[in-house]
Structure 1
Amino acid sequence: MNIQMNIPVQEKLEILSDAAKYDVACTSSGVDRNNDGKGLGSCIAPGICHAFSADGRCISLLKILFTNECVFDCQYCLNRKSNDVRRASFTPDEVCDLTMGFYKRNYIEGLFLSSGILVSPNYTMELIYQTVKKLREEHHFQGYIHVKAIPGADQGLIDKTGYLVDRMSINLELPTAEGLKKLAPHKTRKTILKPMRQIQSTITTNKNEVAIFRHAPKYVPAGQSTQMIIGATNENDYQIVKVAESLYQGFDLKRVFYSAFVNVNQDSNLPALQSGPPLLREHRLYQADWLLRFYGFKSDELLSEERPNFNTLLDPKCDWALRHLELFPIEINKADYHTLLRIPGIGTKSAMRIVQARRMASLEFSDLKKIGVVLKRALYFITCNGRMMYPTKIEEDYIFRNLLHVEEKVPILENGINYKQLNLFEDWGGQQYDNLFMRG
């Protein structure tokens, strides 16, 4: 085993937890792993990474790289082989001891394990497999485990690991094959998409087996996700959203994560980023992602080749509504659920409440406020019993100016920036998104 044994575990933990900070593809929504009474931990529909579970609990996990050694030289990566950084690697036993130690101290409820490529993809994947196998079978850990599968590793290794973990992800790295060729020429879209396809196929087959044989082992029960770096190459928002849409449709992904490019290396092929990482762009992409996943929008509705980038001043849903004023105003007491979702200020939960409440009585604006509709946005696009809330012009410039005054303010960060990069310690659920990112 090519692992340094002379570095204290605490020092390895400092190196490898810091090395994992740029990987944001970490969430566990949608999986139940019950404790069978023989082991430690459980995974009952949790949100991991300092996320909020269904009952409001904030849950965290240990997030580390197995190693920051790497045989590849991706120009955007801090851990590329040509960089002079402190290197370290865990052993499977060290990862197990850390995970169990933190769990018993009630610090974590799960593990997120990624890795650089040590020696080869197969060698690294074997180490990851041995680690989770020890956790499950020797330490009887039944909490949440998310691992990064290694592109290029044998599918048999990936499959064996998939039966032991809750979620698996493979980083797409960059939105297009051209960008990958430019900044990571040793990687190809084929080597990344092939295991994603195989994981998807095995998940589907396994679901059918579990439906017939209830006690059959589950394969990646929380599904798979991926991550794209945004801003390292020159793709526009339309290209990125189209890629995400195709991944959701073609690979049944649970989540696509967007990571604003942080320039950690000096390289002529990388953008200078004089104004810092493109965090607002990342923010708009997450908003659009929610529209694709939960609101019934298509990428071609949000952007086009003629209009390839999002409006930085408005969220994508408001921007879409302003470009389709011929559809408004919409009568709240008659519109179906899917039409209600198109209205700025109305989220998934408030739309469902409207549908349920109007079975009992005709709704007025005061009722909508109690339901949770953000009337400061919605009033320009709706009527109640044929009347608007105030005399309002259905005119783009007029509504645009007024919406700018009520644009939801997110917490102010450094230098007055009021948006931030999604990171490991946030997994925004649908309602949090309605309340903060979208307000409908």
Structure 2
Amino acid sequence: MDRIQEKLMILADAAKYDVSCSSSGSKRKNKGGIGDASASGICHTYTEDGRCVSLLKILLTNHCIYDCAFCVSRKSNDVKRAAFTVEEVVEITMNFYRRNYIEGLFLSSGIFKNADFTMERLMRIVKKLRTEERFHGYIHLKTIPGASEELIKEAGLYVDRMSINLELPTEAGLKLVAPEKDHESVRKPLAFVQNHIKELQSESALIKHKPLFVPAGQSTQMVIGATPESDYQIMSVADEFYKNYQLKRVYYSGYIPINSDNVLLPQVGTQPPLIRENRLYQTDWLLRFYDFKLDEILNPQFQNLDMDIDPKLGWALRNPQFFPIDINTADYKQIIRIPGIGRQSAMKIIKARKFGKLREYQLKKIGISYNRAKFFMICADSPFTLGEMSMMNVKQSILQFGNSKYKNTIPENQLSLF
């Protein structure tokens, strides 16, 4: 038991660098076994309907045949190594679930021997959990680049979500710090899984009980800041992957300096670039849920996001010709482009204005960020319009309000983050 605990400490710690563990989208139901991925029930994540659940997040092994400069498990790194057996992972997962510690499993791995050798063991774990232990909780499995399609296809029958790390945003960046890897080994399994999902969907009209295959879809992860790609290059890759492979999520992981001796990697102190990571997630959100096109936010002439302000505000300041927007007559797509107004607030505005023209105090009650939105909209009693102030003054006014708002709760040395 002491050896199992030691393995768990090593392999759970090594798994913390993988951030792509969202559990949204699963519809797997319990039919007489243990666990349920579609209802509420040691990694915290959020489901599609907003519930927070706990996942056991571990590696099968941190042994690896590759020597990626940015990875803590690279073969040249002097760290403690460990590997679980198939039976040990199954036993730990079931014991943790029975003690109500977890709701599911996030399983990844380093690569020992070769891709198929590792993938075969991952597949055996999820198969054993489903067929022998009758575990119906959530399972997220990391696919091994280069693994055979047969193993990926069989594993897909037992998991809820699959993901495979793109590692670096561009092929050139990947070759710089991980010359043994390439993007094709990531694109190929993503395309295979997506095509098989489509095939099963097309057969659903003919087959009454079609098998579940990766019901929560696929995701990928990129390390940001280890190589010199611009925000435009990063988001161009993400936009392409969303369109071509219908991914559920692309995750942006700020580079953590774990290999300070490598001259190819940037020396960024001890903290990853969290502000840039946050701005990329905000841009991602605008593309997926706010009907923005990538070239509106980033393009060859504007390749990097402003770290001082969020990308929607940045777009608005660069495009004053679209403002001010009349909150009492504009449609939903226009309203959600106003900085400070989200999708839920936009729907509330549309419903509320059926009963009369909206004024400032009503908009504040709805919950919009009025001190930001007021520069870009007009309501029944608006005091001024955007044309009365320069873009620079608008930006400074918003930044000053943000600083004063957080001044009493945030240390002085962190105010620049807002």
Give the TM-score normalised by the residue count of structure 2: 0.93
Instruction: Give the percent of matched residue pairs that are identical in Structure 1 and Structure 2.
Output: 51
Query: Residue 410 of structure 1: CA displacement?
Result: 11
In structure 2, the CA distance between the partners of 1:69 and 1:7, relative to structure 1 (3 Å rule), is farther
1:291 to 286, 289, 292: 286
Query: Residue 238 of structure 1: CA displacement?
Result: 0.8
1:140 equivalent in alignment to 2:134: yes
SS in 2 for 1:228: strand
1:277 equivalent in alignment to 2:272: yes
1:32 equivalent in alignment to 2:27: yes
1:404 equivalent in alignment to 2:399: yes
1:349 equivalent in alignment to 2:313: no
Query: Residue 45 of structure 1: CA displacement?
Result: 6.3
- Give the 5 Å matches for 1:320-359: 320-359=315-354
Between 1:273-282 and 1:387-396, the stretch displaced more is 387-396
Distance 2:179 2:408 in 1: 39
Between 1:209-218 and 1:11-20, the stretch displaced more is 209-218
Query: Residue 55 of structure 1: CA displacement?
Result: 6.8
SS in 1 for 2:134: coil
Aligned residue number for residue 248 of structure 2: 254
Distance 2:231 2:382 in 1: 34
Contact 1:279 1:419 in 2 (8 A): no
SS in 1 for 2:355: coil
CA deviations on 1:95-153 (whole Å, 9 max, x unpaired) are 11111111111111000000000111000000000000010011111000000001100
SS in 1 for 2:354: coil
CA deviations on 1:169-228 (whole Å, 9 max, x unpaired) are 010000000011111111111111111111111111122233543421111111000000
1:150 equivalent in alignment to 2:148: no
1:374 to 346, 355, 369: 369
1:50 to 44, 47, 53: 44
2:157 to 163, 166, 175: 163
1:78 to 55, 72, 75: 72
Amino acid at match of 2:11: L
CA deviations on 1:272-307 (whole Å, 9 max, x unpaired) are 114742111111111111111111111111122222
Distance 1:47 1:236 in 2: 42
Amino acid at match of 2:337: R
Aligned residue number for residue 95 of structure 1: 89
In structure 2, the CA distance between the partners of 1:415 and 1:112, relative to structure 1 (3 Å rule), is farther
In structure 2, the CA distance between the partners of 1:93 and 1:240, relative to structure 1 (3 Å rule), is same
In structure 2, the CA distance between the partners of 1:210 and 1:337, relative to structure 1 (3 Å rule), is same
Aligned residue number for residue 212 of structure 2: 218
Distance 2:408 2:248 in 1: 27
1:10 equivalent in alignment to 2:5: yes
CA deviations on 1:249-269 (whole Å, 9 max, x unpaired) are 111110000000011112111
Kindly report the root-mean-square deviation, in angstroms, between the aligned alpha carbons of the 2 structures: 2.4
Aligned residue number for residue 426 of structure 1: none
In structure 2, the CA distance between the partners of 1:45 and 1:211, relative to structure 1 (3 Å rule), is farther
Between 1:137-146 and 1:365-374, the stretch displaced more is 365-374
Aligned residue number for residue 227 of structure 2: 233
Q: Where do 5+ consecutive residues of structure 2 fail to align?
A: none
1:185 equivalent in alignment to 2:175: no
Give the paired residue count. 414
Amino acid at match of 2:252: Y
Distance 1:381 1:370 in 2: 18
Amino acid at match of 1:32: K
Contact 1:173 1:227 in 2 (8 A): yes
In structure 2, the CA distance between the partners of 1:275 and 1:74, relative to structure 1 (3 Å rule), is closer
In structure 2, the CA distance between the partners of 1:273 and 1:415, relative to structure 1 (3 Å rule), is farther
In structure 2, the CA distance between the partners of 1:276 and 1:402, relative to structure 1 (3 Å rule), is same
CA deviations on 1:375-400 (whole Å, 9 max, x unpaired) are 11111111114x42457624201211
In structure 2, the CA distance between the partners of 1:398 and 1:414, relative to structure 1 (3 Å rule), is closer
Amino acid at match of 1:233: T
Aligned residue number for residue 104 of structure 1: 98
SS in 2 for 1:61: strand
CA deviations on 1:237-257 (whole Å, 9 max, x unpaired) are 111111111111111110000
Distance 1:318 1:285 in 2: 14
Aligned residue number for residue 313 of structure 2: 318
Query: Residue 54 of structure 1: CA displacement?
Result: 6.6
Query: Residue 409 of structure 1: CA displacement?
Result: 5.2
Query: Residue 359 of structure 1: CA displacement?
Result: 2.8
